[in-house]
Amino acid sequence: MKPSDIAALLLLGAIWGASFLFMRMGADEFGGMALADMRAIGAAVCSIPLLTRPRLAEMRTHWRDIAVIGLANSALPFVLFSYAAQSLPAGVSAISDAIAPLLVALSGWLWLGEKLSAMRASGLVIGLTGVVWLVAGTVGFGGGHRASGWAMAACVGANVCYTFGAHYSQRCLRGVTPLSVATGSQLAAAVMLLPFTVWLWPAKTPGLPAWLAALGLAALCTSLAYVLFYGLMVRIGAARSMAVLYLIPVFGVLWGLLFLREPVTLAMAGGCAVILLGVALTTGLLRGRMPAPAGGVAAERR
């Protein structure tokens, strides 16, 4: 890769890792639902310049499937991650986000009949072991100093949504321009979440830092990130672009440490390392070739 492509890859990992920081900063004042919709609305507005005539035509033709992707890859994950951010450290949420490729591979094997090599199977076992380590050492479903286990369950639920969206996109939207799907899905998510946002809008107007966090989520972590990601896919291919999956947890933990003073515990460090090792084995990175997860699981997320 060219130095400029490596720099773009690092920048994308830093931006997507920052999404967990921004959610942590804004979730308490907005609430999970309102923050999720502000993100979707802002991303839809920022995407207006991308609405060329060919993309509008694709969106009209495939609007039902794009709406399903909007629900599975934007609306529901945005709400679940924003809910989790009210009690879960940004670094832990970022680490949990790395399990999506594991879930894609596991679901493909269980329900779609996809074959698993010995290396991919071992990667699944190792990665899921890392998830257990992270959960056991970080969260609990009771009270006390530990983060809410329900918040971690929400993170897992968000990744289940991504998994469904990845398979659905691969089956029903193959051949559709990715930016058409990305833009249309944000519009669909914004519309679907709007009634619930009006109903659950916070009684006290969020302050400026919370609004800036929502703006960062929409403009940087969604709209700009899509442009960077699809540009990388064109220049270096989907497989190499998927290396961003390994950068997101690292940057998520780093931003939480620098800006929120979140401690990096043994459970976080160990769980992250084991999960990423499992992902590397499952996706084929350690064999020198890394096939893109079904549907481009990194493309419609965070």
State how far the Cα of 202 lies from the Cα of 20, in Å rounded to an integer. Answer: 21
Per-residue model confidence (pLDDT) at position 262: 93
Bridge partners of residue 148, in order along the sequence: 140
Give the per-residue pLDDT at 289.
53
d(CA 217, CA 43): 8
Give helix 3-30 / helix 208-215 axis angle, nearest 10°.
Answer: 140
Q: What is the pLDDT of residue 302?
A: 54
Whole-number pLDDT of residue 301 = 52
Note the pLDDT of residue 233. Answer: 83
| Distance (Å, whole) CA 149 – CA 162 | 20
* Residue numbers of the chain with a pLDDT score lower than 70: 139-147, 286-302
Who contacts 222 (Cβ-Cβ below 8 Å, separation ≥6)? 39, 42, 43, 46, 186, 302
Q: Is 190 exposed, middle or buried (0-12, 13-18, 19+ CB in 10 A)?
A: buried
* Alpha carbons 245 and 21: distance in angstroms, whole number: 17
pLDDT at 293: 47
Could you give the CA distance from residue 28 to residue 235 in angstroms, rounded to a whole number? 39
Helix (H) or strand (E) holding 277: helix 266-283
* Percentage with pLDDT > 70 across the chain: 91
Phi then psi for residue 147, to 5 deg, are -65, 155
